[in-house]
Amino acid sequence: MTPVVDIRDLVVSYATDDGVTRAVDGVCLSIARGESVGIVGESGSGKSTLGMAIGRLLAPNATLEAGDIVFDGRSVGRCDAAELRALRRHSLGFVFQNPMSALDPTMRIGRQVALAIGGEPEAAAICALLERVGLDDAPSVARRFPHELSGGMAQRVVIGLAIARRPALLIADEPTASLDASIQGLILDLLLALCRDTGTSLVILSHDLRMVARRCRRVAVMYGGRVVEAGDSREVFAAPAHPYTRALIRAAAGNEGPGGRLEPIAGVPPVLRERASSCAFAPRCADAQARCFAARPAEVAAGGRVVACHFAAGAVIAPAPAAGGRA
């Protein structure tokens, strides 16, 4: 089956006052129909740029330098304005971090939902959509303005707007970062359930590997504008092959034992000016060798996992028997 999106060796850069910054440095990733993928990385890893690039929603100072995004067989990079509008309107849904900035503060919720559905939907259709995203008392919600909603309710509305036209792909960029912890899980579960029901593919961009690994079938870890490790979520979380994935897991609160110490990743993510000629993680990597600073590691596929590390081969092969047993 053809994937919904096939990202091929994508390079995106921004023109800034300090020169060119390369945010995405050769990403290959394809997303199958109905699949849920979590893209994980620190801020500055390029994950938001990648997400926005799929809908060509990048800032004006960004350029698609090389590679392409093929959406349902069409090249997003070569779409004209009308095709792009159609793509965004019919095939893509976006959910961002802050629901309040995604909603029009001057318009009642019902009207915004009507615009998202398109045409002149009946009140019953508007309420049905609001009920699908778990808002009880939909008629009352439809009459309200965004500022009259709580953050969680507003994010539910935004999710409703995003799925109104049953898109082929939904991109959620830190969808729960501005919400309360007690409802973060509920919102994610809602996103996944809706996508499962409608056959929509889901991409969740997040810095929280644990949260994503629990919910998405597949995970892609980004660093320095590249996917450094991708594979089945549980396997990646249980047996990370890339040193960066291991460092991310060790750094996150929740993975340590009682009295244990968290190990933050020393240093800061790189700001690339040009194509990385070495491993971008090498300066922060505890296991880095001379080769890591000399040559750019290629993405190597093994055992259903793709890893971009010179020394990952052994680590990837190791968990394969367990994976085979479960499959």
> Applying CB under 8 A, which of residues 183, 288, 300, 302 lies at the interface with another protein?
183
Query: Closest approach of Cβ 268 to another protein, in Å?
Result: 7
Choose among 89, 88, 94, 197: nearest CA to 155.
Answer: 94
Residue 169 bridge partners (DSSP): 92, 201
Residue 16 bridge partners (DSSP): 19
Residues 49, 55, 60, 66: is their CA dihedral positive or negative? Answer: positive
Is residue 302 part of the contact set for another protein (CB under 8 A)? no
Is residue 182 part of the contact set for another protein (CB under 8 A)? yes
Q: Per-residue x/- marks for another protein, 199-218, CB under 8 A?
A: --------xxxx--------
Q: Where are the alpha helices (DSSP H) in the chain?
A: 47-54, 81-86, 99-102, 109-117, 123-132, 138-143, 151-163, 181-198, 209-215, 233-238, 243-251, 290-294, 313-317, 320-326
Is residue 192 part of the contact set for another protein (CB under 8 A)? no
Is residue 254 part of the contact set for another protein (CB under 8 A)? yes
Is residue 101 part of the contact set for another protein (CB under 8 A)? no
CB nearer to another protein: give 160 or 269: 269
Which residues are within 8 A (CB) of 260 and not within 5 positions of it... i.e. 6 or more apart? none
> Applying CB under 8 A, which of residues 19, 118, 139, 264 lies at the interface with another protein?
264
Calpha distance 116→164 (Å, rounded): 6
Asked if residues 54 and 220 have their Cβ atoms less than 8 Å apart, the reply is: no
CB nearer to another protein: give 105 or 257: 257
Asked if residues 195 and 227 have their Cβ atoms less than 8 Å apart, the reply is: no
Q: Per-residue x/- marks for another protein, 18-47, CB under 8 A?
A: ------------------------xx----
**Interface with another protein: number of residues (CB under 8 A):** 28
CB nearer to another protein: give 181 or 290: 181
Q: Angle, nearest 10°, between helix axes 123-132 and 109-117? A: 100
Burial 218-237, CB ≥16 within 10 A → b, else e: bbbbbbbbbbbbbbbbebbb
CB nearer to another protein: give 185 or 283: 185
CB nearer to another protein: give 2 or 43: 43
> Applying CB under 8 A, which of residues 86, 123, 238, 262 lies at the interface with another protein?
262
CB nearer to another protein: give 36 or 45: 45
**Three-class SS of 104-119:** CCCCCHHHHHHHHHCC
Q: Per-residue x/- marks for another protein, 215-244, CB under 8 A?
A: ------------------------------
Is residue 181 part of the contact set for another protein (CB under 8 A)? yes
CB nearer to another protein: give 114 or 249: 249
Is residue 257 part of the contact set for another protein (CB under 8 A)? yes
Query: Closest approach of Cβ 207 to another protein, in Å?
Result: 5
* Amino acid identity for residue 101 in this structure: S
> Applying CB under 8 A, which of residues 3, 185, 283, 304 lies at the interface with another protein?
185
Which residues are within 8 A (CB) of 166 and not within 5 positions of it... i.e. 6 or more apart? 198, 200
Q: Given the rule CB under 8 A, which residues bind another protein?
A: 42-43, 177, 180-183, 185, 207-210, 247-248, 251-254, 256-259, 261-265, 268
